[in-house]
A and B are shown apart, each in its own frame.
Chain A
Amino acid sequence: DGGITQSPKYLFRKEGQNVTLSCEQNLNHDAMYWYRQDPGQGLRLIYYSQIVNDFQKGDIAEGYSVSREKKESFPLTVTSAQKNPTAFYLCASSMVLARETQYFGPGTRLLVL
């Protein structure tokens, strides 16, 4: 079954803690993206990657970091520098950057305790 998976579904973070959100795809897509969704805000781009070992900042990259060591994996770390991390995080992938359909994972809801 081809698709994109994210884990965990819910994640709780304590103040000052870094947490990593997992994103895996078996669609053989080159491009991958991370979005943050807040109520009434739509989807805002955090980071994107066109190919392995390359990634670029999106509109709201501060307080986040990513890696792209494998084509199928694009983990997102929410660092302690991100002061308002509570949100719904969505990972997506596409064949090439923005020109093709983006397929989304089920998302991870991050809550700060």
Chain B
Amino acid sequence: GQQVMQIPQYQHVQEGEDFTTYCNSSTTLSNIQWYKQRPGGHPVFLIQLVKSGEVKKQKRLTFQFGEAKKNSSLHITATQTTDVGTYFCAVSGGSYIPTFGRGTSLIVHP
């Protein structure tokens, strides 16, 4: 399947600090989806990006799709303890077979 690299693997922040996770691919993507998995839970869909250069916001979360459709980022402003979890990107190329990144685990210290 499609190859995707997600960084960083872990991120510790103090509550109120910002957080960013990145997904990078060597090939052009058809779309990218972002999911959040709380500790002990299952992944829950956050958003899908399809268009080149697309930017979408959900409250304190900002999602971007690169102009070349090879990378994406998820940025959280002023983290809260409720943001704790692992954030995954999922990508698909021309075959539409989904591939998940390894995830970034966010740890928020109060």
Report which A residues bind B (CB closer than 8 A).
33, 35, 40-45, 48, 58-59, 90, 92, 97-107
Contacts and interface: CB of A to CB of B under 8 A. Distances in A.
Interface string B31-66: 101010000011111001000000000000000000
A102 B43 CA distance: 9
Interface in B1-49: 1, 6, 9, 30-31, 33, 35, 41-45, 48
Sort chain B's interface into a size bin: 20 to 34
Contact of B98 (A41, A45, A90, A105): A45
12 contacts: A35-B100, A42-B101, A43-B90, A43-B100, A44-B100, A48-B97, A59-B99, A99-B96, A102-B35, A102-B90, A104-B43, A106-B42
A105 B92 contact: no
A92 B88 CA distance: 15
Contacts of B88: 42-43
Contact of A41 (B42, B43, B102): B102
Contacts, number: 57
Contacts of A92: 43
B106 to A, nearest CB: 15
Interface string B58-97: 0000000000000000000000000000001010100011
Contacts of A99: 30-31, 92, 96
A104 B42 contact: yes
A102 B33 contact: yes
B43 A45 contact: no
B43 A90 contact: yes
A98 B92 contact: yes
Nearest to A99: B96
A12 B98 CA distance: 29
A92 B31 CA distance: 18
A98 B100 contact: no
Given A99-B31, A101-B33, A40 B98 contact: no
A99 B91 CA distance: 10
